[in-house]
């Protein structure tokens, strides 16, 4: 490779010497064709082309091809990454939709459970209310029966007391009447004080 570099430098120097203004002054003007100059320019060009093609073009082409392959791989990698990102995004969207559906289902289940609990509590409250009403009716009926029984006992007691007074002192009709009226009057005052 050092030989090629030296050869390229020597070729460039000889070409510069041939194209110098002093050389042009010897043979004519720069615009007039000079066959010897053209021959040597062509030879130097071919030599330089050969040296460059043997030593420089292959590494340059290899570097360009390697760069091209690297760019193609980068583009393919970017495409793969984009496709993977799109797939991941679709998967995340599907998971999000699934989570939303699950949340909606849980909310609906919660509402259904709450509604059932509400209905159960309402039914339980109604049953307890009906039981309380029935118990109150029974209590009232029992109190009524007890009051009637108490009244009957008092009436019987009063009738017995009145009858015993009438029987104990059986005088005449007018005396019986006076006795019962006096007894009833005494009961009226004692019954008023009891209340």
- Percent with pLDDT over 70 in the chain: 71
Tell me how far apart the terminal alpha carbons of the chain are, to the nearest angstrom.
141
| The predicted structure's pLDDT at residue 28 | 56
Alpha-carbon gap, residue 154 to 194, rounded angstroms: 12
Alpha-carbon gap, residue 180 to 167, rounded angstroms: 11
Alpha-carbon gap, residue 83 to 104, rounded angstroms: 31
| The predicted structure's pLDDT at residue 149 | 79
User: What confidence tens digit (pLDDT) does each residue in 67-82 have?
Assistant: 999 999 999 999 999 9
How are the residues of the chain apportioned to helix, strand and coil, as percentages rounded to the nearest 5?
90, 0, 10
Alpha-carbon gap, residue 181 to 112, rounded angstroms: 76
User: What confidence tens digit (pLDDT) does each residue in 44-102 have?
Assistant: 999 998 888 888 888 888 899 999 999 999 999 999 999 999 999 999 999 999 999 99
194 falls in which pLDDT band (50, 70, 90)?
A: very low
| The predicted structure's pLDDT at residue 75 | 96
The 8-class DSSP code of residue 154 comes to: H
- Given a cut of 70, whether residue 8 has pLDDT beyond it is no
Mean residue pLDDT of the chain comes to 81
Alpha-carbon gap, residue 150 to 144, rounded angstroms: 10
Higher pLDDT, 154 or 195: 154
The helices-and-strands tally (H runs, E runs) of the chain is: 5, 0
37: closest CA among 24, 54, 49?
24
148 falls in which pLDDT band (50, 70, 90)?
A: confident
pTM equals: 0.37
In the predicted model, what is the mean pLDDT of residues 122-142? 92
In the predicted model, what is the mean pLDDT of residues 129-143? 91
Contacts (Cβ under 8 Å, ≥6 apart) of 18: 37, 40, 41, 44
Contacts (Cβ under 8 Å, ≥6 apart) of 23: 17, 37
């Amino acid at each position: 490779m050092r030989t090629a570099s030296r050869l390229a430098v020597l070729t460039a120097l000889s070409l510069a010497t041939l194209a110098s203004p002093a050389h042009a002054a010897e043979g004519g003007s720069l615009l007039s064709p000079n066959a010897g100059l053209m021959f040597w320019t062509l030879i130097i060009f071919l030599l330089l082309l050969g040296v460059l093609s043997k030593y420089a073009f292959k590494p340059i082409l290899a570097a360009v091809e390697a760069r091209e392959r690297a760019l193609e791989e980068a583009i393919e990698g970017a495409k793969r990454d984009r496709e993977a990102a799109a797939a991941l995004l679709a998967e995340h969207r599907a998971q999000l939709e699934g989570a939303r559906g699950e949340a909606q289902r849980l909310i609906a289940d919660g509402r259904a459970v709450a509604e059932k609990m509400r209905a159960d509590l309402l039914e339980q409250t109604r049953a307890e209310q009906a039981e309380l009403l029935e118990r109150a009716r029974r209590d009232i009926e029992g109190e009524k029966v007890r009051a009637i029984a108490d009244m009957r006992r008092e009436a019987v007691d009063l009738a017995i007391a009145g009858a015993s007074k009438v029987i104990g002192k059986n005088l005449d009709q007018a005396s019986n009447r006076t006795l019962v009226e006096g007894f009833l009057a005494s009961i009226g005052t004692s019954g008023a004080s009891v209340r």
